[in-house]
A and B are shown apart, each in its own frame.
Chain A
Amino acid sequence: MSATVESIAAEDERLLPRSPLRRLISRPELGSVLGAIAVFLVFAVVADNFLRAGSLGTVLYAASTIGIMAVPVALLMIGGEFDLSAGVMVTSSALISSMISYEFTANVWVGVGVSLVATLAIGLFNGILLTRTGLPSFIITLGTFLMLTGLNLGFTKLISGTVATKSIADMDGFPAARALFASHLTIGSFAIQVTVLWWIGMVAVATWILLRTRAGNWIFAVGGGRDAARAVGVPVERTKIGLYLGVAFGAWISGQHLLFNYNVVQSGEGVGNELIYIAAAVIGGCLLTGGYGSAIGAAVGALIFGMTSKGIVFAQWDPNWFKFFLGAMLLAATLLNLWIRRRAEATR
């Protein structure tokens, strides 16, 4: 018996090291990186101001506001689920924070803390409802999306009498909270928004979780084969609930940025952003059916959005074309990803 094992082991020196090219081509984010380079080159040529440090800072800022949400949304998609309430959840989080601070004339950090708990509770609600009922996440989060949209408008009108909250700029703790969520650092002539740091931090943590922890293994597994994952002892429910909590955490950061950047919150904001987050994740190589994708890809998808939205302005094109470009890019990126994946599988 052991002799057999040895002879098999000996003749298996055919194990070739994987070529770096094939390793590269099988990465999910490859398509989005190529797309980002193309978009960058286009605007570098057609928009004179695009390559200036100030412009790049603006682009990065636009990318970060989407990227902070696109990253946890991508993780959720890898885990096989959607969250249509992600866009309005950002607004809810900002509104809760603002109203608690204003109505109780409390330190803004009280509002920030209450908002964190409340936003995580919304994520928990989504996650528990999903795992308990077994209904598709599309339906459940469509429900929370509509409910939150209504609650945002209704409560704001009820409490402040208008569609926006009152300014909290003169309240205790505001400067410190602003420094954390909505300040910018200047490095030489380059001004960088703090949201960019949040964004990079989220990408780093998400990538670490996905590729190097047990939880990451479980995220891929629950998205790529739920029944198989359950059969080998993966805690499927806990993993999915954790992913919804991740989205809620991203919504909290985004929401606090919204609040401390503008001092007031418009209660109707956020509707439609959930689709932009999903689009960024898909451009970044996430499969709609789950089980495949990357956090870095989603971040690059957000970068493409940032470059396009600001590049159009720098190129002095009519901004009304923005959505058209986004849609075309989404389709192009998805087709590119599909083509690359087919090629990668064929070369195996």
Chain B
Amino acid sequence: MTAPHEPHDPAADAGADHGPGPTPAPGTPPPTGDAAAAETAASGTPLLELAGVSKHYGNIRALEQVSLTVRGGAVTCVLGDNGAGKSTLIKIIAGLHRHDAGIFRVDGAETTLASPRQALELGIATVYQDLAMVPLMPVWRNFFLGSEPTVGRGPLRRLDVRLMRSTTRERLLRMGIDLRDVDQPIGTLSGGERQSVAIARAVHFGARVLVLDEPTAALGVKQAGVVLRRVAAARDEGLGVVLVTHNPHHAHLVGDHFVLLKRGAMAGDHAAGEITLDELTRQMAGGSELAELGHELRRAASPGPDSDE
């Protein structure tokens, strides 16, 4: 796997180090005040904090007593098998679902997010695993869906189409995607291209916290590298990042903190310095000697081989 950094990443440590210091203002559009973000980062209050959070779907316990902290300038990785509850956790942070028990704090204040809109307004942007795209709509309309910029006022208030198109093209170029046509229905893009659009969108709107649910799953080696660089860049800009992945190699490259989920419950919580890549891989594979093979099989055909779950 070609990766931007060595496994023991000095940049990651540097990123973690500058957490308590004065954080540079994020380069992305600032909705609710960078000053507040910088201040909370400086005073050590985490951007997000989940304590003992549970979520039930009817009688299905999807999440049980999970705790997690997201700080500015740090990457928190969430790892776990299929069905472990990773996406459920992400949906609570994104405002799509409400938690049933436990405490969810944003900037130290207890919150229950009522809608994805509210999460976005707090500067939390999410890349969903199913990408949340409308296949028949053009790329540029999907990119800004729900947060469309407008010009003019009163009845003449209209979409700023020129800005929407040029921003979409420019943001995708930065992700390494050269799109033939931003007017293409997004359903006609390849899976990896769609994923890149979703990530570019979240990077564009994620002012303080960037949440990524398996962003590298459908990507080629080069694009996965671009995504990990974006994650590192967002971290260096002082954003808090939550990265869900099946891939311990990716996690270990950028992660400052690793949260392991198993059947909806916490199975481990480690800081980057405390755990080696081998140990992380072993824990993810349930300690089996087949860790390496299991990992390869999982990447070859994602849902199949985990027959023990």
Residues of A within 8 A of B (CB): 1, 4-5, 8-9, 11-12, 14-16, 18, 208, 212-214, 216-218, 220-221, 224-225, 227-235, 287, 291-292, 345, 348
A12 close to B178 (CB less than 8 A): yes
List 14 other contacts, CB 8 Å, given A224-B134, A225-B135, A291-B135.
Answer: A8-B176, A16-B180, A18-B183, A213-B159, A214-B148, A216-B159, A221-B145, A221-B146, A224-B136, A225-B132, A228-B145, A233-B117, A233-B146, A348-B188
The residue in chain B whose Cβ has the minimal distance to the Cβ of A234 is B146
Top 8 closest A-B pairs, CB basis?
Answer: A225-B134, A233-B117, A233-B146, A232-B146, A231-B132, A228-B132, A224-B134, A12-B178
Given the known inter-chain contacts A224-B135, A291-B137, please indicate yes or no for A232 contacting B173, CB distance below 8 A: no
The residue in chain A whose Cβ has the minimal distance to the Cβ of B119 is A233
Residues in chain A near residue B163, CB distance under 8 A: none
**Number of chain B interface residues as a range:** 35 or more
B147 close to A233 (CB less than 8 A): yes
Asked if B158 is an interface residue, CB under 8 A from chain A, the answer is: yes
State which residues 265-304 of B face A: CB under 8 Å: none
Residues in chain A near residue B14, CB distance under 8 A: none
Residues in chain A near residue B126, CB distance under 8 A: 231
A217 close to B141 (CB less than 8 A): yes
**Distance (whole angstroms) from the CB of A300 to the closest CB of chain B:** 20
A–B complex contacts, Cβ < 8 Å, 7 sampled: A1-B229, A5-B174, A216-B159, A221-B134, A230-B96, A232-B147, A291-B137
A214 close to B136 (CB less than 8 A): no
A231 close to B128 (CB less than 8 A): yes
B159 close to A214 (CB less than 8 A): yes
Asked if B19 is an interface residue, CB under 8 A from chain A, the answer is: no
A225 close to B148 (CB less than 8 A): no
A229 close to B173 (CB less than 8 A): no
Tell which of A224, A232, A292 touches B132, judged by Cβ atoms closer than 8 Å. Answer: A232
The residue in chain B whose Cβ has the minimal distance to the Cβ of A289 is B136
A229 close to B181 (CB less than 8 A): no
Tell which of A4, A12, A217, A224 touches B159, judged by Cβ atoms closer than 8 Å. Answer: A217
Given the known inter-chain contacts A221-B145, A231-B128, please indicate yes or no for A1 contacting B181, CB distance below 8 A: no
State which residues 173-196 of B face A: CB under 8 Å: 173-174, 176, 178-181, 183-185, 188
What CA separation (Å) do A345 and B184 show in the bound complex? Answer: 9
What CA separation (Å) do A167 and B136 show in the bound complex? Answer: 50
Asked if B109 is an interface residue, CB under 8 A from chain A, the answer is: no
